[in-house]
A and B are shown apart, each in its own frame.
Chain A
Amino acid sequence: MIEGLDEVFLAAAAGFVVLAIVMFYRALAGPTTQDRLLAVNVLGTNTVVVLALLSVGLGEPWFLDVALIYALLNFLMAVAISKFTVERGGVL
């Protein structure tokens, strides 16, 4: 671990949070279901990155476990909803 990088990681996490909030526009206003799903998927990826940055910035290693599980659930959510919005589940 390098000294003096904690504030850099926290500032980067703040930047990612701002970009995630911007992404909420597409999740709320997206004309189709797939638009909303895509925006929520990108939001989930941003959340995983924010969790990793907070883990190293605050010195809490167990945040990475939460990030790993969150990434897995995010992927499952995207695939499952895109499967069940199609008639007879024709995706994959």
Chain B
Amino acid sequence: MIETVRFWAVIALLAFGLFFTFVSAVGVIRLPDVYTRAHTASQTDTLGAGFTLAGVALALGWTEVTVYTVLLLFFVFITNPTAAHAIARSAAESGIEAWTVDAAEEGEER
């Protein structure tokens, strides 16, 4: 009984992780400028990686390898938004203008 619940919980976590990483890929390809792309990369990609690593940790159970997976989950959760913030701030300091509807109507490319 409890094994069946764990089986389907792992599959649900992996499916959620794949879905959020798909959303992140669509956002990074389709959104108009670097700031919106940094936003989608920091939010959905962190959530997708977190769900998938949680699924891996749940499938492994109580072993010493699980400690590595939980450490990896914690580490990705801390560092991924920090890196996206540093990249967005670097874009701001090198003078890249944010995308607006007015600039898009004048035909400027980003």
Interface residues of A (CB under 8 A from B): 1-2, 4-5, 8-9, 12, 15-16, 19, 22-23, 25-26, 31-35, 37-39, 41-42, 45-46, 48-49, 52-53, 55-56, 61, 64-65, 67-68, 71-72, 74-75, 78-79, 82-83, 85-87, 90-92
Contact = CB atoms under 8 A, between A and B. Distances in A.
Residue among B79, B80, B89, B90 with most chain A CB within 10 A: B90
A83 B11 CA distance: 39
Report, as a range, how many residues of chain B touch the other chain.
Answer: 35 or more
Contact of B28 (A2, A38, A74, A85): A38
Given A49-B52, A79-B83, A86-B93, A16 B21 contact: yes
Contact of A12 (B18, B80, B90): B18
Contacts of B46: 45
A77 to B, nearest CB: 9
14 contacts: A8-B14, A22-B29, A26-B37, A32-B91, A45-B45, A49-B53, A52-B52, A56-B59, A64-B69, A68-B68, A68-B71, A79-B83, A83-B86, A83-B90
Interface string B6-38: 110011001001100110110011000010011
Q: 9 closest Cβ contacts across the A-B interface?
A: A82-B90, A78-B83, A75-B79, A34-B91, A64-B68, A82-B86, A19-B25, A61-B65, A86-B93
Interface in B62-97: 63, 65, 68-69, 71-72, 75-76, 79-80, 82-84, 86-91, 93-94, 96
Interface SS, A side: helix
Contacts of B41: 38, 41-42
Contact of A86 (B45, B48, B94): B94
Contact of B7 (A5, A15, A49, A53): A5
